[in-house]
């Protein structure tokens, strides 16, 4: 009985304590390594964004306010992605270390862990077949984070007529708030394609219908001049990245021409600029005598006319 008592009161408690100490140290070291890697990446700076706008990049070039704003936006997204990946890595490290510690303690207590490991393998296979959609969601979430497809605050389209602003991203679900305030919970594994409206820069595009009775060149000049004045407005000037560009006539219908104009903006600001451009273009066209199709409405007699 003496050796058995010594084994249970001395040797096995010491083995268990050593196992717990090793597990605690290993867990702490892994967390420190992951945190260090994360902080090193957080401290890294983004590359110069001048090339995104066709400008030459050199050390003496002054960074514009718009480019600085884009840099801050992308830096915020990058840091959020790194923190998420670090949290996932630390969770995985904890599961790995403490699973090993649990099995080692059971082995120290004399429990045959071979059947447990075999059962865990069988259970894992069964769980894998039964929870394929969950595994797919997690893998899609991991790749989405690694590739930085979108982040919190981005406006995206995930298909099936679902689009909105990203409010939360996890490994399993992406949460979107659409324009009507509806909150959508979309499983990452179900997202087959993503359109990101808020990455690097956006384009505010307007289509202006012009009646065929007008001079097309004059109408184009009025529309372009209207846009050039509009982008100078104080409340939107800071989100404009380039001068308005007249893209020409894009459609020829029996009763009108459709003219397109576009402006490069900060990410996510294209709709605000688009609304302002459209409203100002209509007022300036009316002031210049440029008519749109059915200027008085269908079935409505113009003011001053009698039947």
pLDDT in tens, 120-140: 666 666 556 656 777 788 888
Q: In this structure, what token pair is assigned to residue 122?
A: 């069988």
Q: What's the mean pLDDT in 214-233?
A: 94
Q: How confident is the model over 44-67, as a mean pLDDT?
A: 50
- Please state, rounded to an integer, the average pLDDT across all residues of the chain: 80
Q: Which residues pair with 249 in a beta bridge?
A: 259
Strands 173-177 and 183-187: antiparallel
Whether residue 259 contacts residue 70, with contact meaning beta carbons closer than 8 Å, is answered with no
State the virtual CA torsion across 150, 151, 156, 158 in degrees, nearest 10: 70
Which pLDDT score, from 0 to 100, does residue 45 have?
Answer: 62
What's residue 186's pLDDT?
A: 93
* Percent of the residues in the chain that have a pLDDT greater than 90, as a whole number: 31
Q: Is the confidence at residue 297, as pLDDT, over 50?
A: no
Task: Evaluate whether 191 touches 140 at the Cβ level (below 8 Å).
Answer: yes
Q: What are the two backbone dihedrals, phi and then psi, of residue 25, each rounded to the nearest 5 degrees?
A: -65, -45
Which of the four pLDDT bands, split at 50, 70 and 90, describes residue 46? low
The pLDDT of residue 247: 94
The vertex-181 CA angle with 236 and 147, nearest 5°, equals 75
Angstrom distance (rounded) from CA 303 to CA 295 = 12
The enclosing H or E element of 175 equals: strand 173-177
136 contact partners, CB below 8 Å, separation of at least 6: 189
Name residue, tokens 């595994």.
Answer: 135
Structure tokens at 32: 């420190």
Helices (H), the chain: 2-6, 12-43, 65-108, 114-130, 132-147, 216-230, 270-288
Start-to-end Cα distance in the chain: 120
Closest C-alpha to 99, from 88, 89, 113? 113
Q: Distance between CA atoms of 119 and 104, rounded to whole angstroms?
A: 16
Average pLDDT over residues 210-222: 92
Residue 8's pLDDT is: 62
pLDDT tens digits along 186-199: 998 899 899 988 77
Give me the sign of the Cα torsion angle 279, 156, 154, 45. Answer: negative
CA distances for 157 relative to 133, 146, 176, 198, 273, angstroms: 21, 19, 10, 11, 20
Phi, psi of 92 (to 5 degrees): -65, -40
Judged by DSSP in three states, 202 sits in: strand
The yes-or-no verdict on residue 119 having pLDDT over 90 is no
How much is the average pLDDT of 70-94?
A: 76
What integer is the mean pLDDT of 167-195? 89
pLDDT at 229 over 90: yes
pLDDT digits (tens, 9 = 90+) for 241-261: 889 999 999 988 888 889 999
Residues in the chain: 307
**What pLDDT was estimated at residue 87?**
76
pLDDT band, very low/low/confident/very high, at 55 (cuts 50, 70, 90) = very low
Between residues 26 and 305, which one has the greater pLDDT? 26
What confidence tier does 61 reach under pLDDT thresholds 50, 70, 90?
A: very low
Tell how far CA 278 is from the center of its chain: 28
Residue 210 pLDDT greater than 80, yes or no: yes
CA-to-CA dists, residue 196 to 152, 168, 199, angstroms? 12, 15, 6
pLDDT score of 295? 53
For residue 68, name the pLDDT band (cuts at 50, 70, 90).
Answer: confident
């Amino acid at each position: 009985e003496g050796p058995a008592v010594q084994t249970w009161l001395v040797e096995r408690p010491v083995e268990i304590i050593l196992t717990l100490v090793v597990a605690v140290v290993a867990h702490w070291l892994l967390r420190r390594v992951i945190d260090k890697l994360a902080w090193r990446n957080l401290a890294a700076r983004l590359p110069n964004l001048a090339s995104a706008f066709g400008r030459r990049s050199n050390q003496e070039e002054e960074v514009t306010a718009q480019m600085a704003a884009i840099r801050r936006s992308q830096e915020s997204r990058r840091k959020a992605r790194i923190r998420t990946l670090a949290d996932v890595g630390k969770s995985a490290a904890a599961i790995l270390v403490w699973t090993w510690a649990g099995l080692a303690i059971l082995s120290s207590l004399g429990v045959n862990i071979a059947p447990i490991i075999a059962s865990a393998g069988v259970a894992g296979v069964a769980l894998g077949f039964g929870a394929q959609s969950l595994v797919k969601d997690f893998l899609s979430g991991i790749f989405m984070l690694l590739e930085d497809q979108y982040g919190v605050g981005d406006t995206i389209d995930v298909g099936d007529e679902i689009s909105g602003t990203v409010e939360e991203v996890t490994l399993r679900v992406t949460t979107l708030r659409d324009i009507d305030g509806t909150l959508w919970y979309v499983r990452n594994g179900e997202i087959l394609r993503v359109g990101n409206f808020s990455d690097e820069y956006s384009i505010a595009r307007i289509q202006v219908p012009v009646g065929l009775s007008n001079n097309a060149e004059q109408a184009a000049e009025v529309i372009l001049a209207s846009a050039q004045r509009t982008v100078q407005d104080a409340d939107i000037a800071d989100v404009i990245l380039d001068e308005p560009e007249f893209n020409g006539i894009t459609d020829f219908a029996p009763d009108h021409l459709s003219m397109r104009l576009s402006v490069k903006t900060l990410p996510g600001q294209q709709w605000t600029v688009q609304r302002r451009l459209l409203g100002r273009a209509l007022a300036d066209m009316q002031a210049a005598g440029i008519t749109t199709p059915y200027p008085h409405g269908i079935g409505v007699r113009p003011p001053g006319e009698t039947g």
